[in-house]
Structure 1
């Protein structure tokens, strides 16, 4: 799953039409480097790949005054919207914290009930994984890493924390917090 792809598509979707520097400015102003592993160069690489794969298309620039070379502006195609929705749905169910963080950043672009279902799926999968970890044998003097009590404990604690975070987020959303695509313009339909 590409968090950079999701970030770039989402930035362009929020703007409607955007050039690479605006996407870069969005991610910088959102301080995305603190909650993802995105690098500035990966933004431009992602833009090139998205266009080559038919997920974005170039648009005529609306700049009336050009002080330098013309900018390439991008909009999202129907294929790109479908990819964004798929990536966003996956991110909202993902165990990996940076991917999940990007899902949270764009969750408002889906309808509220759909987001709740995706988060409930995540919570259920996390609970299953945590339950599985309790069945793993551990050894005080482990013969291999899979039996190390600290390693198993680390993952169990991580999963329990993520379960609590996900349930708290579901509660906030069910309580009416935030505005979602079914309540505002500009979202992706479920």
Structure 2
């Protein structure tokens, strides 16, 4: 299930990448990123997020100076300082999240943080996943389970899923530590 924070992260990230953007451009960005394949973001949730972010002072609207086909001016947005702070908090939260949609959005924008910050967040995620694996492996199981949570196959599904999350986190972490990608404050020369 898509969380509100994931939509907020995608919307703020789109506007930050562009500098100034209108709602349709934000939706176009999210669509061109095929975010619908790694989140459940819908057009209505993007426009709802724009309205909510504006009412909360995270973005501010400015009237476009370009009239499209003599129509009304287009409402464009820019991210406020408060919105930048929110974006960074959402991004950091996404990079340690166990929710795959949040993590996906976090990875999509991780280059907007300093490399060392991303490394620290991924290391934190790895530690939490390792704890989860230890807990799951300690759960009691029964060959003839007296309740569903004690079914060995069910516990096996959980362990397998979380072990895969660990492997994914370690792979991303290794790439970032090896110098892959360009991060905030690293200028390409």
| Same fold, judged at TM 0.5 (above) | yes
Q: TM range, normalised to the smaller chain?
A: over 0.9
In the alignment, structure 2 segments of 5+ residues that lack a partner are none
Select 1:148's aligned residue among 145, 151, 169: 151
More helix by share: 2
Range with greater deviation from structure 2 (33-42 or 54-63): 54-63
Aligned CA-pair RMSD: 1.2
Matches of residues 48-67 of structure 1 in structure 2 within 5 Å?
Answer: 48-63=51-66, 65-67=67-69
Taking structure 1 as the reference length, what is the TM-score of the superposition? 0.93
CA distance in 2, matches of 1:61, 1:70: 6
Q: Secondary structure at the match of 2:182?
A: coil
CA distance in 2, matches of 1:179, 1:14: 14
Select 1:101's aligned residue among 76, 100, 104: 104
CA distance in 2, matches of 1:85, 1:133: 31
Query: How many residues matched?
Result: 184
In the alignment, structure 1 segments of 5+ residues that lack a partner are 186-190
Matches of residues 74-153 of structure 1 in structure 2 within 5 Å?
Answer: 74-153=77-156
Q: Secondary structure at the match of 1:92?
A: helix
CA distance in 1, matches of 2:128, 2:16: 29
Matches of residues 33-48 of structure 1 in structure 2 within 5 Å?
Answer: 33-48=36-51
